[in-house]
Amino acid sequence: MRDSGTITRPYFFICVLVLFELLHNSCFSISIGGDALSVGQSLYVSERHTLVSQGSTFELGFFNKGTSEYSPKIYLGIWYKNVTFQTIVWVANREQMLSEPSSSKLEFSRDGNLVLIDNIDRNPIWSTNFVSPTPNSTEAVLLDNGNFVVRDVINPSTIYWQSFDHPTDAFLPGAKLGINKLTGKTRVLTSWKYSDDPAPGRFSFGIDPVERNEYFIEWNNSKRYWSSGVWNGDTFSSVPEWKSIKFLNYNFVSNENETYLTFFPSNSSVLVRFVMAMSGNFMLLTWLSGISRNSDFTWLGPIVSRQSQVYAFCGAFGIFRGNLTSYACECLQGFEPISTEGTKLDKWVGGCMRKTPLQCQNGTYTNGMTERFLKISDMTTLPENSKVVPNQSLERCELACMQNCSCTAYAYVSNGCLVWKGDLLNLQQLSNGSNSTKQDLYLKLAASELPKAGGDTMNLKLIIIVPVSLVVLISGGFICCLIKRKLKKIGEKDSREEEKDSRERDSSEDLLTYDFSAHTNAAAETNDENKLERNRKKDVELPSFSFSSVSAATGNFSTANKLGEGGFGPVYKGKLLGGQEIAVKRLSGRSGQGFKEFRNEAVLIAKLQHRNLVRLLGCCIEQDENILVYEYMPNKSLDFFLFDPNRQGMLDWRTRVCVIEGIAQGLLYLHQYPRLRIIHRDLKASNILLDSEMNPKISDFGMARIFGGNESQANTN
């Protein structure tokens, strides 16, 4: 018994090691002697059987994607025979792996179909599933283009089933990617779910089943984020790069039976395939025969150059924070990846989950803490599927989301309040390369997940509060005395300022009763500087009018009195009690110009006197109102005549010459005769006003620039 045990034990361990090696091997590579499998033959996992195409380009067999020999995940597939790194191009049982290596096999059933058996006592987990007219006369052959076919033995041209009709993620030369119009069957590429799981993933590439003239990439069979455009005879309109690939020939066919795309390489030594990748990109991969290295990228589809265009690439509650081409994903604050295993792409398939559930979801409120909102600024892309809550302020928008437990985030944008329920998808915060409008998103989180603004513990707060309180009590009397004296001085100063402001308000002129014929700009220079700008730098001296009188002169800035609107703001026609007409230019809050341009125009025009420059009569500065009052030009501006076919005839050549001469005289005065040279910098037809006699007057000096007498050039913005 001792000797028998001594002999048996080593053989037992040898058998175990062989079995482990069998399970661990990623590819079972013993050919059964050709490219065909006949009725009565079987491919066994345990015996590492394979089929090799006639030209030794492709191999069919079983491969293992398990992480260890104890947990094998075995699939039937096709890969390149001579490429060192195993490159799978087709998988039969991609949705259900084989888990019983000792009894799994591929063979013909009695009805002539190929079946994949996982256990001898179970039903097949995969089958070719066609109706064979002669069950015992079929054979399965692996062709040299990578197509695995079941055909008639006597008549090989009769094909009952082929793998090209059931692609996974790869598009091989000679295959047809499109739609069979008779059966409605479409051939679609679908990415792997994970790098070690060939099950259908998030992204697919296929033809539009309705239009049938272009291809698209789709996320989760619901969201299209890229289209090829229509075929123009050489390539698809949105993919001009395809035409530049000289070693590939494309053929797009559309007839009454089918519509499809196929392609062929011009050089047989180049192995090439298109792949719908896990990254959401449709890419072309090539490999030169005879070189022992992995496939090299030679061209990437239009999506991969802008990874940010791939929809929901980072999964639920994941945010894309890379540049246009990187794979930089992060979970939102308060969230963590659902999966931390696999490659960088595997990590984001499942997205992110909350670290701390919302209290409203489980009905508990610990320590009196409820949910709060975290502001995420500079969002390039907000999530889709939002719900609009109309007529809401920012505060009411927050309240609406807080009161709804299923609400996960909100944003307040120009068109109102947006709220989201459930998962947040397609969040983007690009670091560069985007000119999109940045927006703020408010994410609902458990209060414990928000950044702490104060101390870490209550003890730390007490340590700080107690000594501070003692200091306050001891020095209270002294501080009160100082405050009392300070308040007395401030009160006296405020009284003086109020009296001063009252005098200034009383000094504002009434525009309705003002007689411009009795006042000149020279006389106006003696007025108090405070009339123009009470709380700003005083460097312009003009008659200052009260806002109430300016408003009354223009009919409360009525639409009927509106003459037009420029970059500064709207211009209104006004009328004084004496009958004189004026033009009132009011700075708009939406204007791209501001007080700097307002002051610039007032300074320049107030000090200039020329018959071809518009005359500035006064101004109004009250609170946020900045208004300029001009002489009224009844014939509007030069562009009013130039660009209207019906009014061009009113500008005869005599009038045109007078207008040109007047503009030249005005510019000559600005450039040579003032003490400081003035360059207008915004001279255009709309800034040339015409009086009742069609005399031109240059206006709008908001962009003008002053030069010294010796300056001949300068850099301007």
Pairing label, strands 282-288, 296-300: antiparallel
Which sign, positive or negative, has the C-alpha torsion 573, 575, 576, 578? positive
442 plus 538 within the same structural domain: no
Q: Look at residue 355 in the predicted model and tell me its pLDDT.
A: 92
Q: What is the CATH number of the domain that holds 66?
A: 2.90.10.10
pLDDT in tens, 369-383: 578 899 998 888 889
pLDDT of 648 over the 70 cut: yes
Last residue of one domain, picked from the residues 449, 469, 489: 449
Last residue of one domain, picked from the residues 431, 449, 467: 449
pLDDT confidence tier of residue 150, bands split at 50, 70 and 90: very high
Question: Between 509 and 115, whose confidence is greater?
Answer: 115
Host domain of residue 369? 318-449
What is the four-CA torsion angle of 92, 98, 102, 104, rounded to 10 degrees? -40
327 vs 313: CA distance, rounded Å? 9
Q: Look at residue 27 in the predicted model and tell me its pLDDT.
A: 42
pLDDT confidence tier of residue 14, bands split at 50, 70 and 90: very low
Q: What is the CATH number of the domain that holds 646?
A: 1.10.510.10
Which parts of 393-507 fold into alpha helices (H)? 394-402, 458-474, 476-507
pLDDT of 97 over the 60 cut: yes
162 vs 632: CA distance, rounded Å? 85
Segment among 164-173, 651-660, 705-714 with least mean pLDDT: 705-714
pLDDT of 291 over the 70 cut: no
- Give a yes or no: residue 537 inside a domain: yes
- Mean pLDDT, residues 157-184: 94
Do residues 337 and 352 make contact, with C-beta atoms less than 8 angstroms apart? yes
**Contacts with 522 (C-beta within 8 Å, 6 or more apart), sequence order:** none
596 plus 699 within the same structural domain: yes
Residue tagged active-site, from 196, 682, 691, 700? 682
Q: Look at residue 99 in the predicted model and tell me its pLDDT.
A: 76
255 vs 235: CA distance, rounded Å? 18
Question: Between 571 and 537, whose confidence is greater?
Answer: 571
pLDDT in tens, 217-255: 999 998 998 888 999 888 888 888 788 788 889 999 999
Question: Between 629 and 25, whose confidence is greater?
Answer: 629
Tell me which amino acid residue 416 is.
Answer: G
Tell me which amino acid residue 566 is.
Answer: G
pLDDT confidence tier of residue 572, bands split at 50, 70 and 90: very high
The percentage of residues in the chain with a pLDDT greater than 90, rounded to a whole number, is 29
- Give a yes or no: residue 204 inside a domain: no
- Mean pLDDT, residues 529-557: 68
Q: Which of 90-99, 141-150, 671-680 has the highest mean pLDDT?
A: 141-150
533 plus 636 within the same structural domain: yes
The residues facing 461 across adjacent strands are none
Do residues 561 and 573 make contact, with C-beta atoms less than 8 angstroms apart? yes
- Give a yes or no: residue 465 inside a domain: no
Tokens 């340590």 label which residue? Answer: 463
- Give a yes or no: residue 423 inside a domain: yes
154 plus 73 within the same structural domain: yes
Segment among 237-251, 347-361, 452-466 with least mean pLDDT: 452-466
Q: Look at residue 142 in the predicted model and tell me its pLDDT.
A: 97
442 plus 512 within the same structural domain: no
Question: Between 363 and 410, whose confidence is greater?
Answer: 410
- Give a yes or no: residue 68 inside a domain: yes
> Of 570, 583, 562, whose CA–CA distance to 516 is shortest?
583
432 plus 575 within the same structural domain: no
Distances in whole angstroms, Cα of residue 95 to Cα of each of 77, 144, 339: 13, 26, 20
Q: Look at residue 624 in the predicted model and tell me its pLDDT.
A: 76
Exposure pattern of 484-517 as b/e (b: 16+ CB <10 Å)? eeeeeeeeeeeeeeeeeeeeeeeebbebbebebe
Q: Look at residue 670 in the predicted model and tell me its pLDDT.
A: 86
> Is 296 considered catalytic here?
no
pLDDT of 36 over the 90 cut: yes
pLDDT confidence tier of residue 304, bands split at 50, 70 and 90: very low
103 plus 37 within the same structural domain: yes
Q: Which of 76-85, 315-324, 586-595, 696-705 has the highest mean pLDDT?
A: 76-85
Segment among 310-314, 481-485, 620-624 with least mean pLDDT: 481-485
Q: Look at residue 46 in the predicted model and tell me its pLDDT.
A: 81
Q: Look at residue 369 in the predicted model and tell me its pLDDT.
A: 54
- Give a yes or no: residue 646 inside a domain: yes
Which parts of 25-111 fold into alpha helices (H)? none
pLDDT of 119 over the 50 cut: yes
- Mean pLDDT, residues 5-30: 42
pLDDT of 584 over the 70 cut: yes
392 vs 441: CA distance, rounded Å? 16
Last residue of one domain, picked from the residues 139, 166, 193: 166
What is the four-CA torsion angle of 477, 483, 488, 489, rounded to 10 degrees? 130
pLDDT in tens, 428-455: 887 654 555 788 999 999 988 887 654 4
pLDDT of 114 over the 90 cut: yes
pLDDT of 610 over the 70 cut: yes
Tell me which amino acid residue 418 is.
Answer: L
Segment among 75-79, 458-462, 579-583, 664-668 with least mean pLDDT: 458-462
Question: Between 698 and 122, whose confidence is greater?
Answer: 698
192 vs 169: CA distance, rounded Å? 7
Q: How many domains does the structure of the chain reveal?
A: 3
Element (H, E) at 149: strand 148-152
pLDDT of 458 over the 50 cut: no
Question: What is the DSSP secondary structure assignment for residue 359, as one 8-state letter?
Answer: H
SS3 366: helix
pLDDT in tens, 476-490: 666 766 766 767 666
Structure tokens that stand for 559 in this block: 């639409």
Tokens 């329920």 label which residue? Answer: 421
Do residues 527 and 543 make contact, with C-beta atoms less than 8 angstroms apart? yes
- Give a yes or no: residue 212 inside a domain: no
Exposure pattern of 556-569 as b/e (b: 16+ CB <10 Å)? ebeeebeeeebebb
271 vs 287: CA distance, rounded Å? 5
Q: Look at residue 145 in the predicted model and tell me its pLDDT.
A: 95
pLDDT of 473 over the 70 cut: no
Q: Look at residue 127 in the predicted model and tell me its pLDDT.
A: 94
Q: Look at residue 477 in the predicted model and tell me its pLDDT.
A: 61
pLDDT of 344 over the 90 cut: no
324 plus 412 within the same structural domain: yes
Q: Look at residue 705 in the predicted model and tell me its pLDDT.
A: 78
133 vs 123: CA distance, rounded Å? 23
601 plus 527 within the same structural domain: yes
Average pLDDT for the chain: 79
pLDDT of 105 over the 80 cut: yes
- Mean pLDDT, residues 409-415: 86
514 plus 642 within the same structural domain: yes
pLDDT confidence tier of residue 139, bands split at 50, 70 and 90: very high
> Of 337, 355, 319, 362, whose CA–CA distance to 449 is shortest?
355
Q: Look at residue 308 in the predicted model and tell me its pLDDT.
A: 78
Q: Is 393 exposed, middle or buried (0-12, 13-18, 19+ CB in 10 A)?
A: exposed
The percentage of residues in the chain with a pLDDT greater than 70, rounded to a whole number, is 75
442 plus 573 within the same structural domain: no
- Mean pLDDT, residues 99-108: 84
- Give a yes or no: residue 263 inside a domain: no
pLDDT of 545 over the 80 cut: yes
Q: Look at residue 453 in the predicted model and tell me its pLDDT.
A: 52
Question: What is the DSSP secondary structure assignment for residue 235, as one 8-state letter?
Answer: S
pLDDT confidence tier of residue 282, bands split at 50, 70 and 90: confident
Q: Look at residue 292 in the predicted model and tell me its pLDDT.
A: 45
pLDDT of 528 over the 50 cut: no
Q: Look at residue 179 in the predicted model and tell me its pLDDT.
A: 95
536 plus 623 within the same structural domain: yes
